Amino acid sequence: MTLPKGFGSAGGGGAGSADVERMIGRRVENMTGMITASYIAAWLATFGGTAAGYFFYPWAYPTPSGHYAFIVLTIVEAIGYLFCIKVTEEGSRKRSNGVLAATLGGTAVGTVLISLFVGW
């Protein structure tokens, strides 16, 4: 990897993790909280979008269709969240399996409860 001037060892070698951290500012494996907050915000926005169909346009968006869209979009977002966390922690010693399980479990339970009790 070619480094910008002022980074890396003078003898060639490779980029150390401290050099890469200085170049990009903050290590991505420390961004689990921000990625988790973004996932939860996306999940809430998905509910907000389908809730507009449930409550304001029930004649245009039938409830079963809204539930289907909400469930499918939640699954897509959950897969994306899982991959984001696993890729950012690849090669590091950090493990956020507890945060990952709690977040995905919480949104799964929330999705089931919303689908059961909202809009009928």
pLDDT digits (tens, 9 = 90+) for 66-116: 899 999 999 999 999 999 998 888 877 777 889 999 999 999 999 999 999
CB contact at 8 A, 45 and 32: no
Say what the pLDDT of residue 109 is: 97
Query: Would the CA dihedral through 50, 55, 56, 59 be positive or negative?
Result: positive
pTM of the model: 0.75
Residue of 89, 91, 110, 92 whose CA lies nearest to 100 = 89
Identify the band that residue 26 occupies on the pLDDT scale cut at 50, 70 and 90: low
